[in-house]
């Protein structure tokens, strides 16, 4: 999620990596820094805030070097401060490290290092990794070998880039899950987290695959396996223009973000599932979870829809009463708040004015508050008593996609955490954790439905109205699917629990109407079938989004989209959001809509 750049060659490497960072600016970040090696010494400059802060430091010191690395940070561990900005160094300050990802076992590693006299200056997991690499980097061991040995001790998703004062002219990188690309220039070599950073310098690139280490020097880039075996890089030429490259080759940020969801699942769970249980750091102490008698979830738009899924999971699994409020209604609704209640604020941006106003009201009434937020250090994250970050990475498209998935997952993790604390025998935590571990793969399978969804969009691109229906958790996903369609394709939608159809909305069904049913819940399938028949009898076309295991009736529908089966009902329902996001996207694209910036809407709504 962070931006990474590195250069070795005849140009001023500091200028090159700063320029490369600027080319990654579209991703969003909260601090930036760089390290360069000059005359056998490491120099580090870093600053919280926009790139202009780092730019001012460079303008003052005008450094020049032939080896440099740089990083723009999207905070995960530790707030966006100068000290937490990358690069970080090891105990002997001999190496400098930048990192994208999350080291899951950093706390264990840190306490071991502290017990052996190491001192740390930041709250980051990256600094711990720098110390681990530093420990391996002694007795004449080469940097590439030290990184290789250190990586074996780290758990999680990461891409590292490392330089050493003792090896000027060398950059070492390692990758597991987070992206890293090397660029082969003419008499120069470079590395970046994303192709756009490389394009002004070279179009010849190779992807460092998972579990590989690379040694990048001015005239060679060598890849190695984690066992130290040389691997032949597979360079290719990028023919995208710079704008397409920012979007990873996708036409829009929205579709890129939809496709990022399997990785987002990994990021969101990183460090939070261990063995067969859930481990959430930084929450209230256990007695608070016993004391809480009611939860209020407060949010807007997509985040509100995630909150509805939260209610569904909390009430079913924990028998804890939950209300979900639109932030704008909560504020003026004179809410009755139990002093033992907890208010959960769900927000991607952490800056939504309505939610902030509701948060102020809760604070004035001395109600405990918890943020479920994507942007680290944002106002809601700072002002809540506790915060759980969704770790979905920067979301650029106005229409929220991957943040929704991460919000629902974090709420599920919270349910499991409370179930563990309250020792609820009815909640099968190990089984649900197992389903969570397989969920990234489920999301990948949902993405495989794209050709079918595209064909469906072709058929219905002139729709005047689309229905989104379901029962139980599927009914909540239907609301989010409808919001996606109306906000980017400008098609009016009708969304409600399927059982409500006959109480009114059925009057709108006529030939040409498309009705999309979420149908993952086996307990309500018979009832749902009746609702589908009601639509078909009035000339509507029915699309069922159901699981691999769903019964044969699904074949009676006009189109059936099958997602992976999953015992945990909330997860089965959640995996249907992917084909529904894809449907909104392809309909909008076919209708020529402005997808990433839909009319009248803004990414962060900072007015009430």
Which residues form the interface with ligand F6R (CB under 6 A)? 300-303, 347-349, 352, 355, 399-400, 483, 487, 604-605
Task: Quote the least distance from Cβ 589 to ligand F6R, whole Å.
Answer: 16
- Rounded Cα–Cα distance for residues 257 and 108 (Å): 32
- 423: alpha, beta or left, given left = phi > 0 and alpha = psi -120 to 50? left
Catalytic residue annotation:
2, 603
C-alpha dist (Å) from residue 316 to 128, 170, 293, 309, 310:
40, 56, 15, 11, 10
Q: Which residue is nearest to ligand F6R (CB)?
A: 301
Nearer CB in complex with ligand F6R: 213/489: 489
Cβ atoms < 10 Å from Cβ of 464 = 11
Residue with tokens 């590439």: 144
Task: Quote the least distance from Cβ 375 to ligand F6R, whole Å.
Answer: 8
Nearer CB in complex with ligand F6R: 410/542: 410
Task: Quote the least distance from Cβ 424 to ligand F6R, whole Å.
Answer: 29
Task: Quote the least distance from Cβ 480 to ligand F6R, whole Å.
Answer: 8
Task: Quote the least distance from Cβ 107 to ligand F6R, whole Å.
Answer: 29
Nearer CB in complex with ligand F6R: 183/301: 301
Task: Quote the least distance from Cβ 387 to ligand F6R, whole Å.
Answer: 14
Nearer CB in complex with ligand F6R: 405/547: 405
3-class SS string, 56-96:
HHHHHHCCCCCEEEEEEECCCCCCCCCCCCCCEECCCCCEE
CA angle 407, 413, 416 (to 5 degrees): 145
Nearer CB in complex with ligand F6R: 306/418: 306
Sign of the CA dihedral running 102, 103, 104, 106: negative
CB 512 within 8 A of CB 608: no
> With 0-12 CB in 10 A as exposed, 13-18 as middle and 19+ as buried, what is 63?
middle
Cβ atoms < 10 Å from Cβ of 116 = 10
**Which residues are registered as beta bridge partners of 344?**
297, 370
In terms of DSSP H, where are the helices of 260-401? Answer: 261-269, 286-291, 301-318, 327-332, 353-364, 379-383
CB 177 within 8 A of CB 263: yes
Nearer CB in complex with ligand F6R: 597/604: 604
């Amino acid at each position: 999620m962070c931006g990474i750049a590195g250069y070795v060659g005849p140009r001023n490497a500091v200028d090159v990596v700063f320029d490369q960072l600027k080319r990654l600016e579209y991703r969003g970040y909260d601090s930036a820094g760089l390290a360069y090696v000059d005359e056998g010494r490491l120099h580090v400059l870093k600053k919280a805030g926009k790139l202009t802060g780092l730019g001012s430091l460079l303008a003052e010191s005008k450094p020049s070097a032939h080896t440099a690395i740089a990083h723009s940070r999207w905070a995960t561990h530790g707030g966006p401060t100068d000290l937490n900005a990358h690069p970080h160094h090891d105990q002997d300050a001999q190496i400098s490290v930048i990192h994208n990802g999350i080291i899951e076992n950093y706390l264990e590693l840190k306490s071991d290092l502290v017990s052996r006299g190491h001192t740390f200056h930041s709250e980051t997991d990256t600094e711990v990794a720098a110390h681990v690499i530093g420990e391996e980097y002694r007795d004449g061991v080469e940097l590439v070998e030290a990184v290789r040995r250190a990586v074996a001790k780290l758990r999680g998703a990461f891409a590292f880039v490392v330089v050493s004062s003792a090896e000027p002219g060398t950059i070492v990188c390692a990758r597991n899950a987070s992206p890293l690309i090397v660029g082969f220039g003419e008499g120069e070599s470079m590395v970046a987290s994303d192709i756009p950073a490389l394009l002004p310098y070279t179009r010849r690139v190779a992807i460092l695959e998972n579990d590989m280490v690379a040694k990048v020097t001015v005239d060679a880039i060598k890849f190695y396996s984690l066992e130290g075996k040389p691997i032949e890089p597979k360079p290719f030429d990028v023919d995208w223009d710079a704008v397409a490259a920012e979007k990873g080759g996708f036409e829009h940020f929205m579709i890129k973000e939809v496709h990022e969801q399997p990785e987002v699942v990994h990021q969101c769970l990183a460090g939070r599932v261990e063995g067969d249980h859930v481990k959430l750091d930084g929450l209230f102490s256990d007695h608070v979870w016993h004391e809480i008698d009611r939860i209020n979830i407060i949010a807007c738009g997509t985040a509100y829809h995630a909150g509805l899924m939260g209610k569904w999971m909390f009430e079913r699994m924990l028998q804890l009463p939950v209300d979900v409020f639109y932030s704008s209604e909560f504020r003026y609704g004179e809410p009755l708040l139990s002093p033992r209640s907890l208010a959960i604020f769900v927000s991607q941006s952490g800056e939504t004015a309505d939610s902030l106003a509701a948060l102020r009201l809760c604070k004035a009434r001395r109600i405990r508050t918890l943020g479920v937020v994507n942007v680290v250090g944002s106002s809601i994250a700072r002002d809540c008593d506790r915060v759980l970050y969704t770790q979905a990475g920067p979301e650029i498209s106005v229409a929220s996609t991957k943040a929704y998935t991460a919000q629902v997952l974090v709420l599920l993790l919270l349910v499991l955490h409370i179930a563990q604390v309250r020792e609820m025998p009815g909640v099968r935590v190990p089984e649900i954790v197992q389903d969570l571990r397989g969920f990234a793969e489920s999301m990948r399978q949902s993405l495989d439905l794209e050709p079918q969804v595209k064909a469906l969009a072709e058929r219905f691109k002139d729709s005047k109205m689309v229905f989104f229906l379901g029962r139980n958790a599927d009914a909540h996903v239907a609301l989010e699917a409808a919001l996606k369609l109306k906000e980017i394709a400008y098609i009016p939608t009708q969304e409600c629990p399927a059982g409500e159809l006959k109480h009114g909305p059925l009057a709108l069904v006529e030939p040409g109407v498309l009705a999309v049913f979420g149908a993952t819940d086996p307990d309500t399938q018979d009832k749902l079938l009746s609702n589908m028949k009601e639509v078909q009898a009035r000339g509507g076309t029915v699309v069922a989004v159901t699981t691999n295991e769903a019964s044969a009736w699904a074949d009676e529908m006009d189109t059936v989209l099958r997602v992976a089966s999953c015992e945990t009902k909330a997860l089965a329902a959640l995996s249907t959001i992917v084909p529904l996001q894809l449907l909104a996207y392809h309909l909008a694209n076919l209708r020529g809509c402005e997808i990433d910036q839909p009319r009248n809407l803004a990414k962060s709504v900072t007015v009430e």
